[in-house]
Amino acid sequence: MEGQPEGNDFTLFSIVVGLADTEYGYASIKEMESISVDVGHNLPKIPILQDKSFKPCPIGNIPDERLQSFLSDIYDREEV
């Protein structure tokens, strides 16, 4: 969602739509580059990759059902 340089790294405030959970918080680019997900069943680990085709836009315009559901849950809770 936003970020800033910190030394030789870049810290992001982001929402991660993962294999099991969706969460938000701070993460560094170097930290994310070092992560790979073990999906089991003798398959190779899956690295986290940047979507090079992504174009900045309002978050509500990102066509991802899990992301939009997560955002709806947050906004619904804030209104209560």
Distance of CA 28 to the CA centre of its chain: 11
**19 conformational bin, left if phi > 0, alpha if psi -120 to 50, beta if neither:** alpha
The mean pLDDT of 52-80, rounded to a whole number, is 83
Give me the pLDDT at residue 78, please.
54
Q: How confident is the model at residue 46 (pLDDT cuts 50, 70, 90)?
A: confident
pTM of the model: 0.62
In the predicted model, what is the mean pLDDT of residues 61-76?
Answer: 87
Q: Look at residue 80 in the predicted model and tell me its pLDDT.
A: 44
